Structure 1
Amino acid sequence: MASSLICGETQSRVSSVLNRDVKQFGKKYMFDNNEETCWNSDQGDTQWVALEFPQPVQVSELRLQFQGGFSGKTCRMEGSPKDGSFSKIGDFYPEDDNSAQSFPIREAPVVHKLKIVFENSADFFGRIIVYSLDVLGEKAS
Structure 2
Amino acid sequence: MASSLICSETQSRVSSVLNRDVKQYGKKYMFDCNEETCWNSDQGERQWVSLEFPKSVRVSELKIQFQGGFSAKTCSIKGSPKDGDFTELSHFYPEDDHSTHSFPIQEAPAVDRVKIMFENSADFFGRIIVYSLDVLGERGS
Q: Per the shorter chain, which TM-score range?
A: over 0.9
2:130 is matched with 130
State the 1:77 CA deviation: 0.4
The answer to whether residue 25 in structure 2 is matched with residue 25 in structure 1 is yes
1:99 is matched with 99
What amino acid maps onto 1:62 in structure 2? L
The answer to whether residue 102 in structure 2 is matched with residue 110 in structure 1 is no
1:43 is matched with 43
Structure 1: 5+ residue stretches without partners: none
TM-score by length of 1: 0.99
What amino acid maps onto 2:14 in structure 1? V
State the 1:90 CA deviation: 1.1
State the 1:140 CA deviation: 1.5
* Whole-angstrom distance in 1 between the partners of 2:119 and 2:109: 22
The answer to whether residue 3 in structure 2 is matched with residue 7 in structure 1 is no
Q: Deviations over 1:51-109 (max 9, x none)?
A: 00000000000000000000000100000000101111110000000001100000111
- Segments of 4+ in structure 1 off by > 2 A? none
* Whole-angstrom distance in 1 between the partners of 2:64 and 2:109: 21
State the 1:9 CA deviation: 0.1
* Whole-angstrom distance in 2 between the partners of 1:11 and 1:85: 18
Percent of paired sites with the same residue: 77
RMSD: 0.4
* Whole-angstrom distance in 2 between the partners of 1:92 and 1:54: 26
State the 1:113 CA deviation: 0.0
What amino acid maps onto 2:115 in structure 1? K
What amino acid maps onto 1:95 in structure 2? E
What amino acid maps onto 1:69 in structure 2? G
